[in-house]
Structure 1
Amino acid sequence: MKKVFGLLTAVGLMTAPLAQASTVTVSGSTSVAHVMEVLAENYQNNTQTSVEVQSTGSSAGIRAAKDGTSMIGMSSRNVKDNELNSDTKEIVIARDGIAAAVNNANPVKNLTQEQISKIYRGEIKNWSEVGGEARPIVVVTRENGSGTRGAFEEIMKLQRTINGHKVTAISPTAQVGNGNGMIKTIVANNPYAIGYISLGSVDNSLRAIDVNGVEATDANIATGDYQIARPFIVLIDKNAPDNANSFIEYILSEDGQNIVAEEGYIRIN
């Protein structure tokens, strides 16, 4: 019995690395993770490959792909040249709008991009200045390192340069929420709050307002009429394992892109 047990143990030790190698590790943007988790679950159900998805933020995901701590990184903002190395590939897997979201009780239906920018800069402080009630605006933003925040700041021109470095122009009095879920909770529970979240995360708990008279819809993002939009990007090393490349191939396939659309995002093919 001891010999048999020893043999089984040896076999287990030999096969353990193989089992571990079959796991694809993915980390990064919390916005991309929303759809990535669904893609991973469906992929696992049809293959022998396990996929682990971690929400760590876009900046962390980019670093993880670059230094090899994750096979695949996720970013919901454009990646800067100095964040990559020559072996890192960027692949757009979907597109997403960023919704300026308000409480369902808020009467304001439309804002211009300039008005939203001024609200986040702290230049417009009261809803009465944009057609709402005479109440102070509660401004809610994402945390530093968030891809959604990075994309929002870039699109809305909410960055300024100090000593050659770009810094945020968002008012320091803005409340900070970690992740789409926290932003939704704050806005859904405060009739005078405004926050920005991934369009794919909008539900009945709050309302996406029109921007420049254009509704935040997939169709309007696809045509370019709704301009607060960004790509969902995955990053992978050119020498990444086959199972990581196979998972990305699945994401870009018809089945994968159907899931992207079903989850409320815009497919790329």
Structure 2
Amino acid sequence: MKKMKSVYLLAVMALILVVATACGNNNKDNSANGGGGKKASGSIVVSGSSAMQPLVAAAAEQFKEKNPDADIQVQAGGSGTGLSQVSEGAVKIGNSDVFAEEKEGIPADKLKDHQIAVVGMSAAVNPEVGLKDISKKDLIKVFTGEIKNWKELGGKDQKIALINRPDSSGTRATFVKYALDGKEPVEGAATEDSSNTVQKLIKETPGAIGYLAFSYFTDKSGVTPLSIDGVKPTDENVQKGKFPIWAYEHSYTKGEPKGLEKQFLDYMMSNDIQNNLVPEQGYIPASKMEVKRDAEGKVTKK
């Protein structure tokens, strides 16, 4: 009899475990759909980093397909704009390529950091320039105006046309910090508000050079990304800490997120987005990084 009772108890416990596991998995799936089993609704505006815009816009489209009553508007404008607007309460989510602590005048202690992914960046040139690799030393000379013609670097006899980003740009801040060792680009260069425009101008302007996130380096982009000191701008090299120009893609909220912004951020961190959409869009899941970086720029092994 005691043996039968023991068998019965074990069977009951196993059944409870199966039910609990099923419920847990169901909740996880619902959360990934954007709302813990409840359809999301309402409207929010997301602004900021143009390097991050393609990923967030694609995720927003998928989210809206699952939640037809939700409206998520994704705008660019640069990391500084996103951080300022979310701090002021003008938008619910501010996207940034830099830590809020790095931007002067931003109340970082009032913002909540959500690290969505990692983005690699590199200099890119018009294909007719004739270069695929550049030393960091020469890259600095190009952007500070010391080198003015591509023939000085073994390229075409053509004047260098610099394309820059505004001070509010997180892409610019990342590039200046990690590619130019903090040296600011020469004044007088063309300055564009979005990475889409930079890509278009590099493609169409003879002798042009600018800088872009890896997500803009597609087969149809019409630009040539540059290796730095022989190290190719690839996800693998960023993950291993070999390629120096990269940044976290941050989504900031003013305090803890709630409502639709929380549902959308939960969706951005779901397995489906992190394992599929993030790499498809040319970004790196933060979990795949073998190194980490703090707000001061110090890189250490994970």
> Is the shorter-chain TM-score for this pair beyond 0.5, marking a shared fold?
yes
Residue type at the aligned position of 2:282: G
- Does the alignment pair 1:262 with 2:280? yes
Alignment of 1:218-257 (within 5 A): 218-257=235-274
CA-atom RMSD in angstroms: 1.9
1:268 & 1:106 partners in 2: Cα distance? 34
How far apart in 1 are the matches of 2:230 and 2:108? 41
Match of 1:184?
199
Distance in structure 1 (CA, Å) of the matches to 2:50 and 2:99: 15
Of 37, 51, 54 in structure 2, the residue corresponding to residue 34 of structure 1 is 54
CA shift for structure 1 position 140:
1.3
The amino acid of 2:242's aligned partner reads: D
Does the 8 A contact of 1:65 with 1:73 survive in 2? yes
What CA distance in whole angstroms lies between the structure 2 residues aligned with 1:267 and 1:78? 17
Q: Which amino acid aligns with 1:67?
A: E
Identity %: 27
1:163-182 maps to which residues of 2 (within 5 A)?
169-182=184-197
CA distance in 2, matches of 1:145, 1:158: 18
CA distance in 2, matches of 1:58, 1:143: 10
CA displacement, residues 183-227 of structure 1 (integer Å, 9 cap, x when unaligned): 112211233111111110123311101111011111111111111
AA aligned opposite 1:118: K
Q: Which amino acid in 1 is paired with 2:115?
A: V
Higher Cα Rg: structure 1 or 2? 2
**Superposed displacement of residue 85, structure 1:** 4.2
Q: Report the CA distance shift for 1:84/1:126 in structure 2 as closer, same or farther (over 3 A).
A: same
Tell me which residue corresponds to 2:92.
71
Distance verdict in 2 for CA 1:233–1:100, change over 3 Å? same
Structure 1 residue 232, shift from structure 2 partner: 0.8
Please tell me whether residue 115 in structure 1 is matched to residue 138 in structure 2.
Answer: yes
Summarize deviations over 1:57-103 as a string: whole Å, max 9, x none.
21111011112111111012232265124331111111111121111
**SS of corresponding position for 2:156:** coil
Q: TM-score if structure 2 supplies the norm length?
A: 0.75
Distance 1:245 1:232 in 2: 17
CA distance in 2 between partners of 1:61 and 1:267 (Å): 21
Aligned residues: 242
Runs of 4+ with deviation above 4 angstroms: none
8 A contact 1:92–1:231 mirrored in 2: yes
Deviation at 1:39, TM superposition (A): 0.5
Equivalent in the alignment of 2:71 = 50
Quote the offset at 1:159 in angstroms.
4.0
Matches of 2:225 and 2:256 in 1, distance apart? Answer: 41
Q: Deviations over 1:39-65 (max 9, x none)?
A: 001011112422121212211110111
Q: Secondary structure at 1:31's aligned position in 2?
A: coil
Question: How big is the shift at 1:158?
Answer: 5.7
Out of 140, 151, 156, the residue aligned to residue 174 of structure 2 is: 151
CA contact (8 A) 1:121 1:158 kept: no
Counterpart residue identity of residue 59, structure 2? L
Partner amino acid, structure 2, of 1:155: Y
Q: Distance in 2 between matches of 1:79 and 1:113?
A: 27
Q: Which runs of 5+ in 2 are unaligned?
A: 1-40, 288-302
SS of 2:95's equivalent in the other structure is strand
Q: Hey, what does 1:17 align to over in structure 2? A: none
Work out the CA distance in 2 between the residues paired with 1:137 and 1:235. Answer: 37
CA distance in 1 between partners of 2:84 and 2:159 (Å): 39
Q: Distance in 2 between matches of 1:71 and 1:259?
A: 22
Alignment counterpart, residue 86 of structure 1, candidates 102, 109, 122: 109
CA offset at residue 137 of structure 1?
1.2
**Residue type of the alignment partner of 2:88:** D
Question: What's the CA shift for 1:239?
Answer: 4.0
